[in-house]
Chain A
Amino acid sequence: MKDKKLEVKNLTFAYRQDKKVLENINFEVVSGEILAIIGQNGSGKSTLLKNLIGLLEPDRGTIKINGKNTEGLNISDLSREVGFVLQNPDMQLFAQTVEEEVAFGLKNLGYEKELLEQKITEALETVGLREKRKEFPPALSHGDRTKVVIASVLAMDPDIIILDEPTLGQDHTGTCQLMNILTRLNREGKTVILVTHDMSLVARYVDRVMVLNKGKIILQGGPREVFSQPDVILQSHIKPPLSNRLGKKLQQELNIDKEVLTIKELGEIIIERTLRRKVQ
């Protein structure tokens, strides 16, 4: 059985007393999992993330990271175990060069010079920015700026990486590169939690999905399970990926008996059915 990396029980939070933003949230994330949190704007996704990393304190309930209750812990203490990439990379770049940026967190954790060098190189290699280590971060492209932030978080070697809409404003290539980095990290043992509105990413890369609606979890399950629930889709204003919608349209025509997630899957089904018809 896999370790529980994150355990949230009965979490309730309100910015104003009369309006709860999160209500009775319960979920667990196990080691090596990729969890996507989805839901329409204002459903409480970012607030939930801020509670997880200590930027906000829950009104009720408990959050355990690696079995340790986070109540009363400083954000900087949590940063050893949880890395958080905020939505806007520009507010997370404070240094003159890429390598100094990556070194920022490591210096705060008290790494010695030799290990510091090694960690910086490893982190920049992981995100493919080794050649740009001497460059001025704000002058990089949006995609590269996001990668610098991810490298800075990775260098600190947290068990859990949380990302708030990391692909926002990225082109297709940037999105794929970023998701491939996250998938690779996940294979190496990191637990990844991300908030996203991009359902094609959810379909292609994610193990488990949590759907939030008006501060409550309305469904948790695999992407196939989530996209197969029309009432949940309607309630949370999710638009399933094109491949899934196309699969549903062709369901009767091609006798498809499962939820189609990716274009690759749909392509394989179409080829297989077409060949079968030809043989018959």
Chain B
Amino acid sequence: MPRIRYIAGDSFLHRLDPRVKFILVIMATLLIFIVSNYIVLTLAFLSTLLVWKLASIPLNIISGYLKLLAGLFIIIIILQAMFYNGTTILLEPLLPAFVPILGGLGNITLEGILFGLLLSLRVLTLVCLLPLFIYTTSLENMILGLVKLGLPYKIAFIVTTALNQMPILQEEIEEIINAQTLRGFTVFESGNFLEKLKAYPTLVLPLVFGAMRRSQLMGVAMDSRAFGVSKERTFITEIRMKSLDWLILVTGFCYLTFLLLLNFI
């Protein structure tokens, strides 16, 4: 799976004020949850892809996400196709109506398939949108942006540190999977989606203990460097909203409002 960590660059998105990015990402996320129109959601997805391109983030990362989520999408579509209350029946139920409890369930409907596709597209758009903030914002700028938005420094630090732990956790998951495969465990190498799903809980123990050890060490290191002693905290760099930042914020806001209105037309 592609690592979710800051990718250094000099694109317009890298230079954009972190507050603008944060606000637009939150607004776009809410929009994706609200909209239920296929065209609007497709537009939102294509716009996200365009931002990826403009931010010079390699597009092949998305294929990594797709590979990871393909199984989930298939399950979503199958479940929705069977249980969505649609009217255009494509296939009759596997169990006839006279069978108690489960009888009559499992009609495959066109509306169900379409709704499954919509949900999958929603998940994919979110998965492509959220990391954009992390890929293009350095940890320092992220903290600074959140503090300037009014978040207490400690909370901003916790949030950004948690985000920063994601690639470390990803690396550890890979390492644990490798260690299991090296001891003859074949599921992660050649198992199917369900087998892999069943095997994932075995990763929890080393992952949790590793995270606990690391957070304890990090806590000691922070305490030894006087974390939280002074209420007045200074920053090496300063951020200031420039005219381009305002322009992008307003344009982004207008575009998202347009998509929202389009959804209700």
Contacts and interface: CB of A to CB of B under 8 A. Distances in A.
Contacts of A74: 186, 189-190
Given A86-B175, A91-B210, A92-B176, A75 B205 contact: no
Nearest to A53: B182
A94 B180 CA distance: 9
A75 B180 CA distance: 10
A61 interface: no
User: Majority SS of interface residues in chain B?
Assistant: helix
A200 B209 CA distance: 33
Interface in A78-129: 79-80, 83-84, 86, 88, 90-96, 104-105, 108-109
B205 A86 contact: no
Contacts of B190: 74
A122 to B, nearest CB: 17
Given A91-B172, A138-B205, A76 B181 contact: yes
B176 A75 contact: no
Nearest to B205: A94
A154 B227 CA distance: 45
Contacts of B178: 55, 75, 86
A90 B213 contact: yes
A152 interface: yes
Contacts of B205: 93-96, 138
A161 B114 CA distance: 54
A92 B179 CA distance: 6
B202 interface: yes
A92 B185 CA distance: 13
Interface of A: 53, 55, 74-76, 79-80, 83-84, 86, 88, 90-96, 104-105, 108-109, 138, 152-153, 156
Given A79-B184, A105-B184, 7 more contacts: A53-B182, A75-B189, A94-B180, A94-B203, A105-B185, A108-B185, A108-B186
